[in-house]
């Protein structure tokens, strides 16, 4: 973020910062509320003693509060800008609702109810969140994800969820509405990016309690200092005591704390991840185990034809043409991939012969194929199903090929033909789950960050082992049921580890809900998105690396600025305490190591620095401290050296420079 951009954002959000001076807002931040009370008291004192010192002090105390509000306002403003673009995608639509008797009626989208069936044709906007129950269509989701490429949404499987406000580009689908108006995914996104539904995280609450405790300690210390000063013969004005209190309480982190949390969620939105809670963002920073659903997450989700293996005397060309013929009318992803592979290997692109009829797959037969006009039947299916259809003894070569494909992590589809009483096994189609590109490299990155990856799949152990090795995950859970996933998560959590899981299917929903960080794919089902506490709009399972880095960055930033804020107070002791008691105790002049001009300039310089450092740290609070993979001890050491030592040194330099500037002002210098 350049200085000019930040300056424009600050100027734009200045009215919002002034509105936040309302005490009903400030009381949520006890530290800044104390500063507000001090500003009010000092302002009242100005009317009793309108000196240059008290007026200057009142101005800079008010600026301290405004600068603290400005940090939060700038963070919220960035989210509101994103919310405005999302609102532009929300349109009022007329929905075509299908009644129980099949009749259509036009209903405003705002009146849709959960369970309504809605027809959406090409060119129409989907009126509400739901699942495709009939049909397949190409959908433009750029208004939600920012990705211009259309996506396919189809009934059944894990790519059925559609979002209100997106547009159907081709075909017609029937959508079952799953969210009532006002609580749609788009509405939730708008509320979250605006910050209106952001709650403090456990870590943030704990830090707030620490800040309140420190503030109470300093309030009591300053309150008892007044009678002690009177007893010592060095009575102190109320304005000086207020200045001391404001400089000693942790105003820097108190002012920036909310901005850090908002900016963390904002950074997630910028990488197209929607966090449903701040708790999930924090938990992501401490994740040590990652469970990944195989289908649709590690692999593309649809098995694709990898090769055709002929049996016996059947040639490659003969098998290629037969499997293409058997799959021409098969509109499943597997069927389309078989035709595509056959064409890639040189098959003719002809339609089904005259009189041929397609035989669809059923759970009973576990086969599909085609019946030709001359009486020839061609079938493809599981080995046991083809064995029963063909009858007799299967070739030994077939058994070897099936075992080889299975051990390679693939799925064998046996192809056979029958004409009259003659049956022939022709070959095997090797279907394979295709691992997404770049998975090995991304999992290696996770491993370097100390995160263990576990692939979860319903496949048999042999297939799971092969896919796990190809993808580069650390471990796998095969033949997993939803209960198995839950048990694995509980075992990991019982060992003190935080667990993250990505998934997209309805069967992933229980595990997504149980995980500390549940990242649902936007392409997944509504049930998965409701169960998770994050939604990846790009549906990229490797996005978890970015999520973990942002989570760690949030925690590191909060810790770094807390260290800096507390370390800042050391220099302020040397500025204000000698100035307050130098008259009564001349020996305290030895503590005036900065050589500040007068007691008034020393106190005012500390207050001015206290205000300006908030503005100086706003960019760091919004951008975050740069994350570098390292151990907790290394991060702590870096925090102490950079922000602890830096927090001690910076005020000495800053306060001295400010003193040199203001010491020439009459009534202060």
422-432 and 304-310 strand pairing: antiparallel
Tell whether residue 361 is among the known ligand binding residues.
Answer: yes
Tell whether residue 143 is among the known ligand binding residues.
Answer: no
Tell whether residue 334 is among the known ligand binding residues.
Answer: yes
Q: Which residues contact 618 (CB under 8 A, 6 or more apart)?
A: 6, 10, 70, 71, 74, 256, 259
Query: Angle at Cα 561 formed by Cα 560 and Cα 563, nearest 5°?
Result: 65
Q: Is 533 exposed, middle or buried (0-12, 13-18, 19+ CB in 10 A)?
A: buried
DSSP letter for each residue of 338-364: HHHHHHHTT----PPPTT-EEE---TT
Q: What are phi and psi of 267, to 5 degrees?
A: -65, -35
Point out which residues pair with 292 in neighbouring strands: 455, 502
Q: Are 284 and 273 in contact (CB under 8 A)?
A: no
Tell whether residue 367 is among the known ligand binding residues.
Answer: yes
Q: What are phi and psi of 628, to 5 degrees?
A: -130, 125
- Distance (Å, whole) CA 79 – CA 496: 34
CA distances from 173 to 122, 304, 474, 479, 625 (A): 9, 25, 40, 33, 47
DSSP letter for each residue of 411-441: EEEEEEEEETTEEEEEEEEEEEPPBPTTHHH
- Distance (Å, whole) CA 504 – CA 100: 30
- Distance (Å, whole) CA 322 – CA 311: 13
Q: How many residues does the chain have?
A: 669
Q: In the annotation, is 293 catalytic?
A: yes
Count Cα neighbours of 523 within 13 Å in the Cβ-side half-sphere: 23
Which of these, 101, 134, 138, lies nearest to 119 by C-alpha position?
Answer: 134
CA distances from 111 to 149, 177, 181, 238, 603 (A): 31, 11, 7, 61, 62
Burial 354-388 (b: 16+ CB within 10 A, else e): eebebbebeeebbbbbbbbeeebbbbbbbbebbbe
Tell whether residue 365 is among the known ligand binding residues.
Answer: yes
Catalytic residue among 187, 293, 433, 516: 293
Tell whether residue 362 is among the known ligand binding residues.
Answer: yes
Q: Are 177 and 115 in contact (CB under 8 A)?
A: yes
Point out which residues pair with 125 in neighbouring strands: 167
Tell whether residue 368 is among the known ligand binding residues.
Answer: yes
Q: Are 551 and 287 in contact (CB under 8 A)?
A: yes
- Distance (Å, whole) CA 486 – CA 404: 33
Radius of gyration of the chain (CA): 34
Q: Are 444 and 405 in contact (CB under 8 A)?
A: no
Point out which residues pair with 104 in neighbouring strands: 98
452-456 and 475-477 strand pairing: parallel
Annotated binding-site ranges for Mg(2+): 504, 508
Please list the active-site residues: 293
Annotated binding-site ranges for ATP: 330, 334, 361-368, 380
């Amino acid at each position: 973020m350049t200085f000019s951009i930040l300056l424009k954002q600050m100027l734009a959000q200045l009215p919002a910062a002034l509105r936040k001076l309302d005490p009903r807002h400030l009381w949520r931040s006890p530290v800044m509320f104390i500063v507000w009370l001090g500003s009010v008291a000092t302002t009242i004192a100005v009317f009793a003693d309108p000196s240059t010192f008290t007026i200057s002090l009142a101005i800079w105390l008010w600026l301290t509060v405004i600068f603290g509000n400005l940090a939060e306002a700038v963070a919220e403003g960035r989210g509101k800008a994103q919310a405005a673009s999302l609102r532009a995608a929300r349109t009022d639509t007329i929905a075509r609702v299908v009644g129980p008797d099949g009749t259509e009626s036009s209903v405003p989208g705002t009146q849709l109810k959960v369970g309504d069936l809605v027809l959406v044709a090409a060119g129409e906007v989907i009126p509400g969140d739901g699942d495709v129950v009939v049909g397949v269509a190409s959908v433009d989701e750029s208004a939600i994800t920012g990705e211009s490429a259309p996506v396919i949404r189809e009934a059944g499987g894990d790519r059925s969820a559609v979002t209100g406000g997106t547009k159907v580009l081709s075909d017609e689908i029937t959508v079952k509405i799953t969210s009532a108006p006002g609580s749609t995914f788009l509405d939730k996104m708008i509320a979250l990016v605006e910050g209106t539904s952001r709650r403090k995280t456990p870590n943030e609450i704990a830090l707030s309690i620490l800040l309140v405790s420190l503030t109470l300690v300093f309030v009591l210390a300053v309150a008892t200092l007044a009678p002690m000063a009177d007893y010592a013969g060095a009575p102190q004005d109320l304005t000086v005591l207020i200045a001391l209190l404001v400089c000693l309480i942790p105003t820097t982190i108190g002012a920036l704390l909310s901005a850090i949390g908002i900016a963390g969620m904002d950074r997630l939105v910028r990488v197209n991840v929607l966090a449903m809670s701040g708790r999930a963002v924090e938990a992501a920073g401490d994740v040590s185990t990652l469970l990944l659903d195989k289908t649709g997450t590690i692999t593309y989700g649809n098995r694709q034809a990898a090769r055709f293996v002929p049996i016996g005397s059947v040639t490659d060309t003969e098998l290629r043409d037969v499997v293409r013929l058997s799959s021409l009318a098969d509109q499943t992803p597997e069927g389309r991939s078989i035709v595509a592979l056959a064409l890639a290997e040189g098959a003719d692109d002809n339609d089904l012969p005259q009189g041929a009829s397609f035989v669809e797959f059923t759970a009973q037969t576990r086969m599909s194929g085609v019946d030709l006009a001359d009486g020839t039947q061609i079938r493809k299916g599981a080995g046991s199903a083809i064995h029963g259809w063909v009858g007799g003894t299967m070739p030994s070569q077939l058994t070897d090929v099936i075992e080889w494909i299975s051990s390679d992590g693939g799925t064998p589809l046996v192809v056979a033909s029958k004409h009259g009483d003659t049956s022939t096994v022709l070959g095997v189609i090797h279907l394979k789950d295709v691992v997404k590109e770049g998975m090995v490299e991304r999992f290696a990155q996770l491993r370097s960050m100390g995160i263990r990856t576990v692939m979860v799949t319903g496949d048999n152990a042999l297939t799971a082992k092969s896919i796990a090795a190809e993808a580069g995950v650390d471990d796998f859970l095969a033949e997993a049921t939803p209960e198995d996933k839950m048990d694995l998560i509980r075992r990991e959590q019982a060992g003190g580890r935080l667990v993250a899981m990505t998934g997209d299917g309805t069967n992933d929903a229980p595990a997504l809900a149980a995980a500390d960080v549940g990242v649902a794919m936007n392409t997944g089902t509504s049930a998965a998105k409701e169960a998770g506490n994050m939604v990846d709009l790009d549906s990229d399972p490797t996005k978890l690396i970015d999520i973990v880095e942002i989570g760690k960055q949030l925690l590191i930033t909060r810790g770094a600025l807390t260290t800096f804020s507390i370390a800042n107070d050391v220099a302020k002791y040397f500025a204000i305490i000698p100035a307050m008691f130098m008259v009564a105790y001349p020996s305290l002049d030895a503590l005036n190591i900065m050589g500040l001009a007068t007691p008034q300039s020393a106190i005012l310089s500390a207050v001015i620095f206290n205000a300006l450092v908030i503005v100086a740290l706003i960019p760091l609070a919004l951008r975050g401290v740069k994350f570098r993979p390292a151990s907790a001890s290394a991060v702590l050491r870096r925090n102490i050296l950079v922000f602890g030592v830096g927090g001690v040194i910076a005020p000495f330099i800053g306060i001295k420079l400010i003193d040199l500037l203001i010491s020439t002002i009459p009534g202060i210098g």
